[in-house]
Structure 1
């Protein structure tokens, strides 16, 4: 029961003949209303005074020409759009609204923002909440004048197994955007095909589109009506997800960057075949051959691509590398499909391309089978291993680390610069092997003055000292062999409990590994905390009987040893 509203009437209408409470309540209400009016007036005066303070303290911008102030505002606006970089608090509701943030400082700044159309060129629309914002959108577009627009449209989501959706946007919203189609420079769309068709079909897109980002929610593609345009869209940057490209007029001659997710194999290869200027390409979750475009035979030779990122395909025959040759590739980022077979497609691609790779990132999940994939991929520079099992996967990882620790030529992964491992369990033997690996790297304490030099380099030979006998001189000669350029090792312990890490011998091995000369060694728990420091603190507290109970009481770690155990 709402006790404040059960008898809600004025004192003059009180039904009681004698009532002292109602007149008193009416007086209190009048006093509260008076105080509220005074508070509103004070707030308004404060805003006016704050504006004067901002104006008088703005000693720099007041003296600068308008042209320079304009450039400063545009640079600040780019920073404000990425609010994660801000070092100060932002007013609530001003996210992604640089002109509102800048215009709230003072009248002069507000006048500058209102006269600067380039500040009003970014417009993001949520179709399910458009009704109360149409007037704001109209004013926003008006302030952008004739400047190129970046339009983001986030449509209604699919709901339920029947595919029902939230209420579709009114034609007024679609029409409002279509009026300015000639100024679209960057287009971002996520939603059902029907909304995309209504927005794009026969629109007046005349300006070159730099960025096109399309994510179509899963639908029956056979029922999609194709989009028709007066001229095809030829973007420089294309981000596309689950979108039938055969139903959109597109050209590829300007394309330099591609990010394709959940696309069919033949669609991806069609883009690669025609995008002769592609430099950077990300392809993930290829879902098989749709049969609309013919697959290339022999493989495509693409001479402009420099960066390629590949995620694991859903099907064995959907690997894009089967149909590609990239002789000038410099950076390759590859996630292995599974741990049951050798990545033969990747190996064949590397042999066929013979590219001058300087960065090769390889992500692999260790499984129950011991597969010597590392023997076949010597070009790996950055390795990420997932070791999620407790028995078979650990055994496979131990075999790999023992192979990595061998110093005999040829080295396993001779170009490895970074090693990242995600593990549920770390056995004691792991640290001694890792210490040897780090110790014997180019930057480790076991590296000689010739570490990393080519065996054919004449500078790798140190002349013998004339004062040393010949036999001893031969013994003191440094071994001329290649050392692995390992710089960084990152290990994350994913289990909730890491009691074994607090044992003294394990801590000493971790410290020895860190002191082996490796440039960067990080050991983290599943929350990202430094595990070496945490283990040392726990071990220290355990060895101090007078502080053990207090430390256990103040710690969130639930695996403290009992008094009897220590």
Structure 2
């Protein structure tokens, strides 16, 4: 067979390309091209970690090649752990040659489970999480999306936030979105963030700051405890408008900021972001992605962003004059502009035309509308 004549290095490269990318883990995240949780896939995606195991079953040569390719064992991508995922995790720990590891869990597309299946699922997940906790120092990324039918997050996550402080010392990137959490104190989310905050290497954070089941904002308990001054990428879903400017002020090193701004009453028509007396200098910010409010005028007036090259607005007014003032004041040149309008608003096309004509967009390469 011709494939057996391929050199080992080329086979390793091919193996590394197998498996399907889950775009929910992209950051910055383009929410317009990511399937919503209600859009269930027709089949289970091909996962990198399971593919790595399966390659070794083909023949003895492939087994030797896969076991000798450390890069092949650096990603664990799963829904809820099954027995085969525990096997894959053990192989990753054994064959990754101490390279940094990434854990990506996405249970958004799960279906309701019976009590018996939930018990089995929980037991398997606890075994899996204990292994993750045992190798806490190895993880560079932990991203968790647990949705409506995920059983009892506070129990499943317990092994991770039960480790000694500083155990996840290599963690660079963390995402916690526990839509399944129905604990009035959001204990699982808070426990995970307290644990992850022990990493001085943490640079990228994405979180759900609103517990939709209890109607509780966990911004103060979570973001308030993080080392915000060292973050370079931050994504916050359902952050209150009164917290936005304070949050930016506390994150001077940000290169990317993505926020869904909402209010307790659900109103998004007015500009509820507070006015600041002096523009906040975000000297490294390159990407700004905003949604949730009709107006972000006070934000545009309150920041200075000399390196900004990408601006995305979703269901928000364009406010061409304020955006132009922000770019001119910052001496910034946009390279990419995205404007998403779910509902037609009068005057938006004229605002867009005015914005596209301004000097700060002369270097524009990509425009999406």
Identify the residue that residue 307 of structure 1 maps to in structure 2. 287
Q: C-alpha distance in 2, partners of 1:114/1:183?
A: 18
Q: 1:179 to 1:108 in 2, by over 3 A?
A: same
**CA-to-partner distance for each residue in 1:280-315, whole Å, 9 max, x for gaps?**
3333x311379xxx96733422121122222242x7
Q: C-alpha distance in 1, partners of 2:135/2:65?
A: 24
Stretches of structure 1 that go unaligned for 5 or more consecutive residues are 1-52, 62-68, 85-91, 382-409, 422-566
Shift of 1:337: 2.6
Stretches of structure 2 that go unaligned for 5 or more consecutive residues are 23-43, 147-151, 211-217, 266-272
Identify the residue that residue 321 of structure 2 maps to in structure 1. 347
Count of residues in Structure 1 that have an aligned counterpart in Structure 2: 306
Q: C-alpha distance in 2, partners of 1:155/1:349?
A: 38
TM normalised by structure 2 equals 0.64
Q: C-alpha distance in 1, partners of 2:51/2:314?
A: 38
**CA-to-partner distance for each residue in 1:148-197, whole Å, 9 max, x for gaps?**
2211234588999xxxx944623433322211111111111122652575
Alignment of 1:328-367 (within 5 A): 328-337=307-316, 343-344=318-319, 347-354=321-328, 355-364=332-341, 367=344
Alignment of 1:523-534 (within 5 A): none
Q: 1:148 to 1:267 in 2, by over 3 A?
A: farther
Alignment of 1:373-388 (within 5 A): 374=350, 378-380=354-356
Query: SS at 2:66's partner residue?
Result: helix
Q: C-alpha distance in 1, partners of 2:227/2:21?
A: 34
**CA-to-partner distance for each residue in 1:100-133, whole Å, 9 max, x for gaps?**
3543453223112123333222223433x53575
Q: CA RMSD in A?
A: 4.4
Q: C-alpha distance in 2, partners of 1:221/1:318?
A: 36
Query: SS at 1:235's partner residue?
Result: coil
Q: Is the 8 A contact 2:169 2:199 kept in 1?
A: no
The reply on whether 1:211 has 2:178 as its aligned counterpart is no
The reply on whether 1:288 has 2:263 as its aligned counterpart is yes
Q: C-alpha distance in 1, partners of 2:199/2:67?
A: 34
The reply on whether 1:223 has 2:199 as its aligned counterpart is no
Q: 1:270 to 1:221 in 2, by over 3 A?
A: farther
Q: C-alpha distance in 1, partners of 2:200/2:219?
A: 11
Q: C-alpha distance in 2, partners of 1:277/1:78?
A: 33
Of 134, 137, 140, which residue of structure 2 is paired with 1:185?
140
TM normalised by structure 1 equals 0.44
* Greater RCO, 1 or 2 (C-alpha within 8 Å, sep 6+): 2
Q: C-alpha distance in 1, partners of 2:366/2:86?
A: 51
Q: 1:110 to 1:275 in 2, by over 3 A?
A: same
The reply on whether 1:297 has 2:276 as its aligned counterpart is yes
Q: 1:137 to 1:416 in 2, by over 3 A?
A: closer
Q: Is the 8 A contact 1:303 1:326 kept in 2?
A: yes
Q: Is the 8 A contact 1:260 1:268 kept in 2?
A: no
Q: Which has the larger radius of gyration?
A: 1
Q: Is the 8 A contact 2:228 2:251 kept in 1?
A: yes
